[in-house]
Amino acid sequence: MHGSPPLTPEIVLRAYAEGIFPMAERRDDPDLYWISPELRGVIPFESFHVPRRLARTVKSDRFTVSADIAFTDVMRACAAPAEGRLNSWINDEIVRLYTALHAGGHAHSIECWRNGGLVGGLYGVSLGGAFFGESMFSLERDASKVALVHLMARLKAGSYVLLDTQFLTQHLTQFGAIEIPRDAYLARLRAALNHHAYWPASSGSAVGFSLSLASGEAGLTGLSGPAATVWPGVFALQVITQTS
């Protein structure tokens, strides 16, 4: 994309609708390029699996899990050097574009907090009934895995039908992730784009699904506003089980 006009969030969304997404070669490279893998990673909702040990961690609420509280912080943590990942495809242009998508309601984050600090999370793009997982990070054991469980709970509660992981990794196979050919992915994507879904708001949303305090929500200390409520782990697991 060197020498091209600056990308806009609208162009990025149109690309996602065609099964294409942008990446940078390196964190310090200002340019982006488009990716459309021959094999696409997805996690089928019907076969999503939570390992038994992880389920115990989720239930324990070792981490306080929120949504859309610290979107840009999650992105920058995903881009930061980590063990086994010295470089990143998330550059400043990616941060700019996806922060704008978040402001427009088309990108969301899940955050894991411990002792007041952000220790894990993930972010992705929402379009129709599809959620495109972009990246995740973990500063403590299982933090990113807990975030993924909470993401799946929100997607199921909001009637999403496609969770795109872009690529298949060993980390994701334990949850039931698979690879499918590009043509099969595009067929699933077209169906998902025509499907009505919504990102569950903390105060409840349409389709008769309420996330009220009676359902077990708890406020995250020090935060305010509608987005400051969080889902207890046992509630997230119940949502996954009840909507399977």
158-189 pLDDT, tens digit each: 999 999 999 998 889 999 999 999 999 999 99
Helix (H) or strand (E) holding 164: strand 162-166
User: pLDDT (tens digit, 9 = 90+) per residue, 1-56?
Assistant: 555 668 999 999 999 999 999 999 888 888 899 999 999 999 999 999 999 999 99
Alpha-carbon dihedral 153, 52, 163, 28, rounded to 10 degrees: 110
Strand-pairing partners, residue 180, are 40
Mean per-residue pLDDT for 198-226? 42
Q: pTM for this structure? A: 0.86
User: pLDDT (tens digit, 9 = 90+) per residue, 48-59?
Assistant: 999 999 999 999
Nearest CA among 115, 119, 118, 152 for reference residue 133: 152
Nearest CA among 127, 5, 132, 151 for reference residue 65: 151
Give residue 229's pLDDT band: very low, low, confident or very high (50, 70, 90).
Answer: low
Separation in Å, CA 216 to CA 64, 80, 121, 213: 13, 34, 22, 5
Asked whether the predicted pLDDT for residue 148 surpasses 90, the reply is: yes
Over the Cα atoms of the chain, what is R_g? 17
User: pLDDT (tens digit, 9 = 90+) per residue, 66-113?
Assistant: 999 999 999 999 999 777 666 788 999 999 999 999 999 999 999 999
Mean per-residue pLDDT for 127-136? 97
Backbone angles phi, psi at 37, to 5 degrees: -60, 145
Helices (H), the chain: 9-17, 52-60, 71-79, 92-103, 143-157, 170-173, 182-193, 233-242
Question: What pLDDT was estimated at residue 86?
Answer: 60
242: buried, middle or exposed (CB in 10 Å: 19+, 13-18, 0-12)?
exposed
DSSP secondary structure letters along 35-98: E--SEEEE--GGG----HHHHHHHHHT-SEEEESSSHHHHHHHHHS-BTTBS--S--HHHHHHH
